[in-house]
Structure 1
Amino acid sequence: PQMNTFSKLYLALLGQFPWKYLPAIPVEMVLLPQWAPFHIYKMSSWSRAMLIPLAIINHFKPTRVLPGEKQLHELYPLGTEQSDLRLPRSEPFWTWRNFFLRLDDVFKFLSPLRIRPLRRRALEEAERWMLERIGKGSDGLAAVFPAMLNSLIALRALGYSKTNSVYAKAERDFAGLFVDDPEDFRIQPCLSPIWDTAINIISLAESGVAPDDPNLQNAAEWLVNKEVRIRGDWSANNSYPQASGWAFEYNNVYYPDTDDTAMVLMALRLVRSKDPQALNETFRRALDWQLSFQCRDGGWAAFDKNVTTPWLEDMPFADHNAILDPTCSDLTARTLELLGYIGFDPKTRSVRDAIQYLIETQDEDGSWYGRWGVNYIYGTWQVLRGLRAIGQDMTQDWILRGRDWLESCQNNDGGWGETCGTYENPSTKGIGESTASQTAWAIMGICACGDLDRPSIQRGLRYLLSWQKPDGSWDEEKITGTGFPRVFYLKYDMYRQNFPLLALATYVNYRSGLGHRPSFYHCDL
């Protein structure tokens, strides 16, 4: 089957793929020290959370035999006995991929010989690592579907009963992802309350809701109380001593991220706090935490710092296209946007390095890749908005090329759209049926460059207004959020509401000369 290793492993659990053709995931990797060329903290946080329980599963190889009528014989028209289902080698002999595949052959040769003196100790350490991260403060391992599912299977393989309190909590957390409504049953990949709350606060505040509105104050207070105050996995690559930041989900203390943290801080700056001194302390702590994540190339990644070792992508179990946590333009620009709103000195080296990073990551046609939203429309909007906020001259040629690219892909109906297929085929960037959220992003990106009378802006605004429903909402069937490019994507139900609102508010505020609402936190740099 043409699928990644993780999917094949799930088939193997049901007896539908031969274990012998799966790459080994040696659990001993949890014992490797941090000075080694490879260790678990060289991987992205989501890969780490998926792979450690998978390494336990790979050791025990639990298999459920399906009845004949449920066998997936159609996957193997010629049967599995006469088929070579191994991962193919690359044509050049000396490549990292071929090196790892030969190493995998060595692991498989040694496995029947039971030459694995550290296996028991490694299994115990993997179990301890996993239990620590599914306990208090976490709604499941990394609070994301693949890791949570893998941890449930791993716990059963380790001998945990269904009535065991640890397993029972993990099962409850997993069930929290279920959506069972009259039309459908589905499992969400994760929950996004912190992200959604922050964007909603920003959209409401920028649209004119008073900064001391009780609803905004309650929402901001809820966010403040969700600040992470333990040094999680990120501390393996970032020596910053203070814990802070916000996660994506309700409770995920080991994995706060820079994207949510930037968005939360942009929301908190807009709300009048009942305790200004406490807000200042929280803001300063979180801001310093955010700044500590700037990577060597000047950009920001999501969960870790400098997790960019390129040869790891050639590991046999790294074909999910996300073993690294690379820096990206959208996160870097969002951090600049935050810094601009709170009066951070634009002449500091961190800002200069970030701007240079954005210059270097711009595509030839003027667009920017969007790692966490679909796709080039998302990336280009966020970069232009961030550059305006930090005080860049928006008439510079390289910046206007971004605006011009957005205008070049406006649809005939006045809106903008782009599909997840652009991650597979970048030549289709900026092409797609118009959506409310992507139209809003494009409008805000073009507005950031000035000249609010441009026809593209006016046509975009007319599109949003003409498609707005009588109750004030918008419909949006297309997916515009990104999880892992080329693997899975996210449909944020709030995007079709909060971003059009923010786009309309942005236009009105720019037109009135207000720009953006004043901040209740100001930098002392």
Structure 2
Amino acid sequence: MLTADATAAEPLSDRSLETASTGTLSSSTLDRAIEAACEALVARQDPAGFWCAELQGDSILESEYLLLMWILGREAEPDLPLIANYLRKIQNPDGGWSLYPGGPADISGTVKGYFALKLMGDSPDAPHMRRARELILSLGGAEKCNTFTRFYFACLGQISFDACPSIPPEIVFLPKWFYFNLYHVSAWTRTMILPLGLVTTFRRARKLKPEQGISELYLDRQAANRLSLKPLSGLPKTWQEIFLRIDQLLKVYDKTPNDTLRQKAIKKAEEWILDHLSGSEGLGAIFPPMVYLLIVFQLLGYPENHPRVVKAHKELRDFFIQDGDEIRIQPCLSPMWDTGIALNALAEAGLSPGDDVARRSTQWLLAKECRVASDWQKNCRPVEASGWFFEFENAHYPDTDDTAMVCTSLSRVGGPDAQSAVKRGVNWLLAMQNDDGGWAAFDRTTDRPLLEKIPFADHNAMQDPSCPDITGRVIEGLGRCGMRVGHPAIDRAVQYIRKQADADGAWWGRWGVNYVYGTWQVLTGLKAVGQDMSESWTRKAADWLLSVQKPDGSFGETCASYDDARLKGQGDSTASQTAWGAMGLMAVHGASHPAIEKAIRWLIETQTHEGSWEETNYTGTGFPRVFYLKYHYYRLYFPLTALARYRRLRS
């Protein structure tokens, strides 16, 4: 558990007046801003060589942890009241909890927040609980919660397991050629399927007292106890209805399974889970499967003092950040991502390979290279194992985004010792390219849209297809390592990117908010591989960025743009998104366009004395429309990169 950084941002520096009063941005002003940002970033480096900022999600992290402790019978844990304090603090005035600050109430998050606080002793008649309850009922009741939320409620006896999707553990035996198998779904889904399958197999619920339950949150109790809110009748007319019918058949099988096959499946699922704990700080090293891992351990009869159980609890608590009498919970830890981007920002600002900052980071990154093949090899041609993951330890799941970022940084400041690792990383990235020319995050994949119709796919990310932003990031890394347009892999990637552009020239952001992020990533990647940036389609993308730039030079885009296309490129100004917009424009216009200087001026004028920037908005994306993130160093290393790149291009 970490302790929160209590350092407050200082007032804006006097250079804001200087830049506002001069016609041309002076080199000395730019240099001072870059130096201050570099000092702030270097000061945050861990002595071991990495950077790791707080990674902030939404209220479900706190509410689900509280519900988990009640499922496990550990509600007396001393940390829980502090978690409940934070959950109360972030409740909206209307009684709901949102996916991101300023967003509308989310029904699933609000029901879980209410339930968690009720279990922690909050009276249903308390004003904050009454507001939450009234809001839930106005949104259609707790029966409108998503499927992942229903698993928690079933485990606490509030609904039947029939209201949850059936996931027979026998899926562990499905062959690779089968349309649905473990290696045709996304890595994050893969780590959830078998734990959830075991939960639905055992169908074990903790019995609560009636007054501890949430029956008051349901408008239709019958609907609450079935998977489909409306009763199914007649022949299915859509793929979703077909899968719901299949689910009904699976539920029949669950009640009278082949005992021999079922026991073998349970054993095989347990073996798969245990195998994927090796070399990792938790199953998948992310919050959701790590929660259900503890439930599975209890279902399988592991005692509380078993080393695996003790370790699993510790790994979840490592996500805690205590701030006074409150604890907030991170969804995972992001050292690889933060370190790769921070090192690249410092390289852009002039860091040399011989510098101690670069040397320590390089040594740390090289020690984290994945040298053992895992899930990714199931769909990939033979290639020497390499790649880097997102967290401190997650050897089963290196990803292309982190690998590209690390290769970019090491190619710049890693020195001779890093080049063999960079070469392996590049070869691994080339092997991971999809048939459509793009890259996905964790696997070499084929888009299978039918998978998104499966009942437990309402997190909108059942699979992990190619996306423009990661493809842009990867070709930027490949470009840094010497590859150019004319190489078959680069040409295929450019063709993919061009096909993915919206009519207005912009690209969607899968992993960052949103079109500003996607467009910046793509344009920067294209520039790095020598694409002609004067062509009409790249100019069109730059024109889109210009069209959404604010009069003061800044950029901002709300998470709501994923739900409402009319909000594309619109939102409160942020330092990270202004940096992205500026760098996207630099990829097309160099440093010459006046809009770029306006963005750079805005960054300098809003920089704090401490060298960083203020940023409250969430600009990271976990699952579009479902889960968003605030990376606490985005407001530092991306503006630094933009300022340093502008200085380099201008000179």
Query: What interval of TM-score do these two structures reach, taking the shorter chain for normalisation?
Result: over 0.9
**Alignment partner for residue 245 of structure 2, among 95, 102, 107?**
102
Deviations 1:140-168 (A, max 9, x none): 00000001111111111111111011111
Residue 268 of structure 1 pairs with residue 410 of structure 2: yes
> Match for residue 400 of structure 1?
539
Contact 2:542 2:588 (8 Å CA) reproduced? yes
**Worse-superposed segment, 456-465 or 490-499:** 456-465
**Alignment partner for residue 191 of structure 2, among 49, 53, 63?**
49
Secondary structure of 1:248's partner?
coil
Residue identity matched to 1:189: P
Q: Output aligned runs, 1:15-414, within 5 Å.
A: 15-80=157-222, 86-88=228-230, 93-115=236-258, 117-135=260-278, 137-182=279-324, 184-273=326-415, 276=416, 278-414=417-553
Q: CA deviation at 1:412?
A: 3.1
Contact 2:162 2:225 (8 Å CA) reproduced? no
| Shift in CA distance, 82/96, structure 1 to aligned 2, threshold 3 Å | closer
The whole-number CA distance in structure 1 between the counterparts of 2:224 and 2:316 is: 39
> Match for residue 437 of structure 1?
576
| Shift in CA distance, 451/305, structure 1 to aligned 2, threshold 3 Å | closer
Contact 1:419 1:431 (8 Å CA) reproduced? yes
The whole-number CA distance in structure 2 between the counterparts of 1:280 and 1:91 is: 63
The whole-number CA distance in structure 2 between the counterparts of 1:170 and 1:305 is: 29
The whole-number CA distance in structure 2 between the counterparts of 1:510 and 1:91 is: 66
The whole-number CA distance in structure 1 between the counterparts of 2:627 and 2:484 is: 38
Contact 1:414 1:456 (8 Å CA) reproduced? yes
Q: CA deviation at 1:37?
A: 2.7
Secondary structure of 1:470's partner?
coil
Deviations 1:249-270 (A, max 9, x none): 0000000000000000011011
Residue identity matched to 1:207: A
The whole-number CA distance in structure 2 between the counterparts of 1:73 and 1:138 is: 39
Secondary structure of 1:491's partner?
strand
Residue identity matched to 1:334: R
Q: CA deviation at 1:109?
A: 2.4
**Worse-superposed segment, 461-470 or 72-81:** 72-81
The whole-number CA distance in structure 1 between the counterparts of 2:369 and 2:490 is: 25
Contact 1:25 1:317 (8 Å CA) reproduced? no
The whole-number CA distance in structure 1 between the counterparts of 2:614 and 2:353 is: 28
The whole-number CA distance in structure 1 between the counterparts of 2:439 and 2:621 is: 17
Residue 427 of structure 1 pairs with residue 566 of structure 2: yes
How many residue pairs get aligned? The number is 508
> Match for residue 517 of structure 1?
none
The whole-number CA distance in structure 2 between the counterparts of 1:293 and 1:345 is: 18
The whole-number CA distance in structure 1 between the counterparts of 2:431 and 2:223 is: 53
Structure 2, unaligned stretches of length 5 or more? 1-142
Q: CA deviation at 1:117?
A: 4.3
> Match for residue 492 of structure 1?
631
What TM-score do you get using the length of structure 1 for normalisation? 0.93
Deviations 1:29-61 (A, max 9, x none): 001111223211111110010111110111112
Q: CA deviation at 1:115?
A: 4.2
| Shift in CA distance, 338/4, structure 1 to aligned 2, threshold 3 Å | same
Residue 10 of structure 1 pairs with residue 152 of structure 2: yes
| Shift in CA distance, 431/254, structure 1 to aligned 2, threshold 3 Å | same
> Match for residue 518 of structure 1?
none
Q: CA deviation at 1:79?
A: 3.8
Deviations 1:131-189 (A, max 9, x none): 11123x10000000001111111111111111011111111111111112216311111
Residue identity matched to 1:241: V
Contact 1:90 1:98 (8 Å CA) reproduced? no
> Match for residue 606 of structure 2?
467
| Shift in CA distance, 134/398, structure 1 to aligned 2, threshold 3 Å | same
The whole-number CA distance in structure 1 between the counterparts of 2:221 and 2:427 is: 58
**Worse-superposed segment, 187-196 or 66-75:** 66-75
The whole-number CA distance in structure 1 between the counterparts of 2:443 and 2:166 is: 26
Residue 481 of structure 1 pairs with residue 620 of structure 2: yes
Structure 1, unaligned stretches of length 5 or more? 513-525
The whole-number CA distance in structure 1 between the counterparts of 2:181 and 2:473 is: 30
Q: CA deviation at 1:390?
A: 0.7
> Match for residue 98 of structure 2?
none
The whole-number CA distance in structure 2 between the counterparts of 1:279 and 1:41 is: 32
The whole-number CA distance in structure 2 between the counterparts of 1:225 and 1:130 is: 25
Q: CA deviation at 1:81?
A: 7.8
> Greater RCO between the two (CA within 8 Å, min separation 6)?
2
The whole-number CA distance in structure 2 between the counterparts of 1:83 and 1:99 is: 19
Q: CA deviation at 1:202?
A: 0.6
The whole-number CA distance in structure 2 between the counterparts of 1:246 and 1:354 is: 21
Deviations 1:203-229 (A, max 9, x none): 111112233111111111100110011
The whole-number CA distance in structure 1 between the counterparts of 2:637 and 2:594 is: 24
Secondary structure of 2:622's partner?
strand
The whole-number CA distance in structure 1 between the counterparts of 2:382 and 2:233 is: 41
Secondary structure of 1:365's partner?
coil
Contact 1:53 1:151 (8 Å CA) reproduced? yes
What TM-score do you get using the length of structure 2 for normalisation? 0.76
**Worse-superposed segment, 138-147 or 78-87:** 78-87
Residue identity matched to 1:405: W
Contact 1:90 1:97 (8 Å CA) reproduced? no
Contact 1:198 1:264 (8 Å CA) reproduced? yes
**Alignment partner for residue 456 of structure 1, among 577, 588, 595?**
595
The whole-number CA distance in structure 1 between the counterparts of 2:327 and 2:304 is: 23
The whole-number CA distance in structure 2 between the counterparts of 1:177 and 1:229 is: 26
Residue identity matched to 1:237: N
Q: CA deviation at 1:451?
A: 5.1
Contact 1:483 1:489 (8 Å CA) reproduced? yes
Residue identity matched to 1:35: W
Contact 1:15 1:63 (8 Å CA) reproduced? yes
The whole-number CA distance in structure 2 between the counterparts of 1:83 and 1:129 is: 31
Contact 2:163 2:227 (8 Å CA) reproduced? yes
Secondary structure of 1:269's partner?
helix
Q: CA deviation at 1:90?
A: 11
The whole-number CA distance in structure 2 between the counterparts of 1:314 and 1:358 is: 26
Q: CA deviation at 1:423?
A: 1.5
